[in-house]
Amino acid sequence: MRLYTVEIQTPVGGIKRLAAEQGEKLIDLNAAGGVYYASKGDTNPQQISDANLPNDMITFFANGKRSLDAGYAVLQYMKDHGGQSGLAGQKLIYGFDEVRILAPVTKPNIIFDGMVYEAHVKHHYGQIPDAYYKRPVWNTQGGSTVVGTGVPLIKPAYTKQFDFEFETGFYICRRGHDIRPEEALDYVAGFTVFNDVSARDAQADESVMALGPAKGKFFRNSLVMGPCVVTKDELPDYDDLEMTAKVNGETVCVNRTSGMLFSLGELVAKISEDAYLNPGDFIGFGTSPEGTSVCSSLGRWLEVGDEIELSVEKIGKICNKVIAADSEEAAKF
């Protein structure tokens, strides 16, 4: 299933809805669920839909198989009986041009960003420390700066080395700790495209103090996710997908998600060692081998006006334009 968090305009303003893609359209799962359960003769159809098809991505993840099965049942019903209105007369089907696509999880609880591609470490840093081969490593960030496709990337005034980092990642659907590698996929909801935007000069200065990135990573709109989350049942080959980056329409890098030094299971196991993972947490695999400005054929830092498009086979693409921090547009964020 391809799940989106979207904003729909109403007479009282924009509201967030959970939608699933079907035939190049978006189905409002919660509203369509009410119609589906009514067709089955249920006494309280909307309440059942609220429980099984919650209008919130994290709760949908946490419900596990119950919500996934209900979602597929509603999509089949809409395929067979589409064109109806909701129980309250609302629309059930939207075109992509009728909604604003948000990040799949608009505010993840926590973000763990790994570094599983040895080729990227070698390409970007040159000499690889021996410690890199001992265990997976990651940095940890909050979810307050997460945005979706179409939202501008705000280049901080303090950086001259503005960079993209092309990644894929996945959301957690179950609470757990000390998860064994062979069980890790049981805790995965699905996969998305991820751009971990960086201010490299600030990051380099901060790395001297060995505390991890600060202003090198933390600024407005610095984490881009989307456009959707593809559930794991529909993406068994998540570890061998083509990744293509374009800047201003020109292809600057083509990589694959294959070639990980550490597997998804190893990454989840180490992160959850003596610590809990929770539904809605996000884990990024790390930057692809050539998935940055200077590692790619772009060969320069991102500048104001650049448009960057990151696409991953079978998932989709995120597109964002770089704007200045002191611009009128940036003042909206």
Q: How far apart, in whole angstroms, are the C-alpha atoms of residue 282 and residue 187? A: 11
The mean pLDDT of 240-246, rounded to a whole number, is 98
CB-based contact 2:19 (threshold 8 Å):
no
Please say if the pLDDT value at position 124 is more than 90: no
Q: Cβ of 236: how many Cβ atoms within 10 Å? A: 9
DSSP strands (E only) in 142-287 = 146-147, 153-155, 162-163, 166-172, 176-177, 188-196, 198-199, 223-231, 242-247, 250-256, 276-277, 282-284
Domain edges within the chain = 2-101, 111-332
Query: In 3-state terms, what secondary structure has residue 290?
Result: coil
The pLDDT value recorded for residue 149 is 98
Say what the pTM is: 0.96
Tokens (6 digits) for 91: 């629309």
Instruction: Please name the CATH architecture into which domain 2-101 falls.
Output: Roll (2.30)
Q: Considering the chain, what percentage of its residues have pLDDT values greater than 70?
A: 100
Task: Pick 111-332's CATH classification: 3.90.850.10, 3.40.190.10, 3.40.50.300, 3.30.1310.10.
Answer: 3.90.850.10
Separation in Å, CA 143 to CA 7, 149, 228, 282: 19, 16, 17, 9
Pairing of strands 316-324, 166-172: unpaired
Q: How far apart, in whole angstroms, are the C-alpha atoms of residue 164 and residue 223? A: 10
The mean pLDDT of 294-300, rounded to a whole number, is 95
Q: Dump pLDDT digits (tens) for 93-116.
A: 999 999 999 999 999 999 999 999
